[in-house]
Amino acid sequence: MGILQIKNLTKIYGKDETEVKALNNINIKINKGEFVAIIGKSGSGKSTLLHIMAGLETPTSGHVIIEDINISSLNEKQQSILWREKIGLIFQSYNLIPALTVEENIKLPTININNKNDNYVDELMLLLSINDRKEHLPHQLSGGQQQRVAIARALINKPSIILADEPTGNLDTKSESEVLNLLKKSQKKYNQTIIMITHNMNIAKYAGRVIKIEDGVIRE
C-alpha cells in the first residue's frame, strides 16, 4: 500500500541563464512500513527532494501525495497539522534546545496536543537507551545520545513517516551503527515508514530499499 507518492516532480532554481534543474520529473512510490534510503552525491538533488517531501520547499511542478493527501493543496494551517500528525523530521544537526532537559526536548512537539502520553515518552527513552539521561541537558550528552533525543522527538507524535536527512553525519562509527539500528528497531516496532537520505552506501545498506539520485534524476 502506497503511503507516499511523488508524481512528475520538478524543481527549478533561478531562470534563463541562471536556471538550475535540481529535480527533473521525479516519480517514486513508497509503501507503508518501508525503510528507504535515497543516496546521491552532494548536489545530486537528494536534500531538495527530502525538503519537498516534508513540505519545507515547494516544487516547480508535480505533486507529493501522503496518504492520499496532495500536500500542495493544503493551506498553512493544514500543512502544520500534517507535519505534526504524519511526519517526523530528523536532521544531521540535532537542533536540541540547550536550556531544556532530554525529556523536555522530546516533549516539545506535543505542546499544542491535548492527549499527551507520558508513558509513551518513557517507552521511547527506554527504546533509545536514554532513559537514564531524562534530566540531563544537551551539553551533558554525547553526540550519539543527542541524536537519540532528536529521534525520540521525531517519534513522539507517532508519525506515519520519518524523514531523516543525513541523520548520522556528525557521529562516530559506533554511534552511527547504534543510531541506524535503533531506527530499524523503531520502524519494525511502530510499523513506520522511514525515508533517509545519505551520500554513503554503507549507511544506505541499513535500508530495505535503495534509490539512487544523480543530477536530479532517479536511477533506481
Those residues with Cβ within 8 angstroms of residue 184's Cβ, 6 or more apart along the chain or in another chain: 35, 206
pLDDT of 163 reads: 94
Domain ranges, ordered by start, for the chain? 35-56+74-218
Question: Shortest CA distance to 171 belongs to which of 96, 106, 97, 94?
Answer: 94
Residue 184, SS3? helix
* pLDDT < 50 stretches in the chain: none
CB 106 within 8 Å of CB 152: yes
- Residue 87 to residues 18, 55, 157, 209, Cα–Cα distance (Å): 33, 10, 9, 20
Architecture label for domain 35-56+74-218: 3-Layer(aba) Sandwich (3.40)
pLDDT of 117 reads: 67
Helix (H) / strand (E) containing 46:
helix 46-53
Amino acid type, 29: K
pLDDT of 220 reads: 66
pLDDT of 62 reads: 95
Cα distance between residue 130 and residue 63, in whole Å: 38
pTM of the model: 0.88
- Residue 201 to residues 35, 166, 169, 205, Cα–Cα distance (Å): 14, 12, 13, 6
Handedness of CA 176, 219, 32, 105 (dihedral sign): positive
DSSP 127-159: HTT-GGGTT--GGGS-HHHHHHHHHHHHHTT--
3-state secondary structure 151-174: HHHHHCCCCCEEEEECCCCCCCHH
pLDDT of 218 reads: 93
Cα distance between residue 179 and residue 151, in whole Å: 9
pLDDT of 1 reads: 66
pLDDT of 48 reads: 93
pLDDT of 112 reads: 64
- Residue 106 to residues 40, 48, 55, 57, 153, Cα–Cα distance (Å): 30, 26, 22, 25, 4
Owner of C-alpha cell 541563464:
17
